[in-house]
Amino acid sequence: MLDIIKFIKKQGLKNFYIFYGEENFLKKCYAKKLKGFFLNKKFLDINYNYFDFSKLDKKKNSSIDDIVKCACSPPFFDSFRILVIKNLLESKKNCEEFDNYIHNFLSTNIIIFLEEKIDKKNKVFQSISQIGDVLKINHQTTSELAKWIIKICDREKISISKQSAIDLVKFVGNDMFFLKQEIYKLINYSRDKNTIDFSDIELLTSKNLDNKIFDLVKLVAQKNSKSLEIFDNLIDQNEQPLVILSMIVRQFYLILKIKGLYDKNKTLQEITNILKIQSFIVHDIISQSKIFNTNDLVFILNYLLEIDFEIKIGSINIIHAIRLFIINLMYRFA
């Protein structure tokens, strides 16, 4: 996990930074660290500006004007001014307007862009990549997240093993916002004994939807009626049936894809690199793929395609369709 302050000290301070990628937590964390490092707390209100273009509608053009005014204004009673701008680069029109001013901004001002995706042909991106730094920040690996969890627990004087930290990632997923919430829930629960173990994680942490779908598919193949119980619980928890269906499709597609690669003697690490997903997910799906043969998986995916078509033309209720799909699959593997 990158130490953004050490990175800047090594690379030298730039006036422009683009943080983009999947991991929103780290993007915000890096921007916050820069704010804390470069700005005097006494004058934060007048030397820090935040613009969120994902929440603005018809006022986007006036906000560009506001950004330009701030970026051309010197800091007050401090060495720097920091502007954080979220999702500006999604709009071609905004980029073209913003690009006209880039070289007019004061050298005392640091401008940080937080973006989901980047078009590298974008004029602003091309300009900033020449005069600033661009960092792609994707979800962290299981190993990196486990180290981060252990570090937080150490800071709170709570003990957690590496394996328990990995188990927590498996339960919650790799979204660091959710992980942090679950970590502190576990820390507060474990204050008296000063340690977090697997039983605590199992007791207090809700599995993420990916894990529940994994369990559902596994139980279907084992002809276990608890697969229906998992589905019914998801509906009771107000999970959207269409989301559940799409994740079931994704799970079976992954099983087929990973089975094909594994049957070609690809290693776990090679499959992880090809599919760009977490190694523990690949490991679990390899074991799951052994339950199905290729013909089974092709049949299942075609069945799911038919369900999707029937739902779109309105000839079937989606909840009933998914329940029937689970029941039919249990009988198929009986």
Output the domain CATH number for residue 57. 3.40.50.300
> Of the residues 204, 229, 254, which one is the last residue of a structural domain?
204
- pLDDT exceeds 50 at position 309: yes
Same domain, 45 and 107: yes
SS3 113: strand
What size, in residues, is the chain?
A: 334
Range of the domain at 183: 142-204
Query: How many domains does the structure of the chain reveal?
Result: 3
Instruction: Kindly indicate the confidence band of residue 333, based on its pLDDT and cuts at 50, 70 and 90.
Output: low
pLDDT at 58 over 50: no
Given pLDDT bands bounded at 50, 70 and 90, which one contains residue 208? confident
**Residues 19 and 125 grouped into a single domain:** yes
What pLDDT, on the 0 to 100 scale, is given for residue 31? Answer: 95
| Mean pLDDT, range 53-59, rounded to an integer | 59
- In a shared domain, residues 200 and 213: no
pLDDT (0 to 100) of residue 60: 46
Percentage of the chain beyond pLDDT 90 is 51
What was the pLDDT predicted at 305? Answer: 93
Residue 57 pLDDT > 60, yes or no?
no
Kindly report the number of other CB atoms within 10 A of residue 275's CB atom.
Answer: 15
- Same structural domain for residues 195 and 220? no
pLDDT confidence of 81, banded at 50, 70, 90? very high
Ordered DSSP codes for 150-216 = HHHHHHTT-EE-HHHHHHHHHHH-S-HHHHHHHHHHHHHHTTTTTEE-HHHHHHH-PPPHHHHHHHH
pLDDT at 284: 85
Q: Is 252 found in the same domain as 168? A: no
- The tens digit of pLDDT for each residue in 85-138 reads 998 887 777 787 787 788 778 889 999 999 988 888 888 888 888 889 999 998
pLDDT at 62: 52
Q: Give the pLDDT score at 195.
A: 95
* Alpha-carbon distances, residue 64 vs 69, 95, 101, 208 (angstroms): 9, 9, 10, 39
Give domain status of residue 5, yes or no. no
Establish if 2 belongs to a structural domain: no
Domain of 261: which CATH number?
A: 1.20.272.10
pLDDT in tens, 147-188: 999 999 999 999 999 999 999 998 888 889 989 999 999 999
pLDDT at 59 over 70: no
Of 155, 184, 204, the residue at which a domain comes to its end is 204
pLDDT above 50: residue 61: no
On whether both 87 and 105 belong to a single domain, the answer is yes
Residue 321 lies in a domain: yes
CATH code of the domain covering residue 182: 1.10.8.60
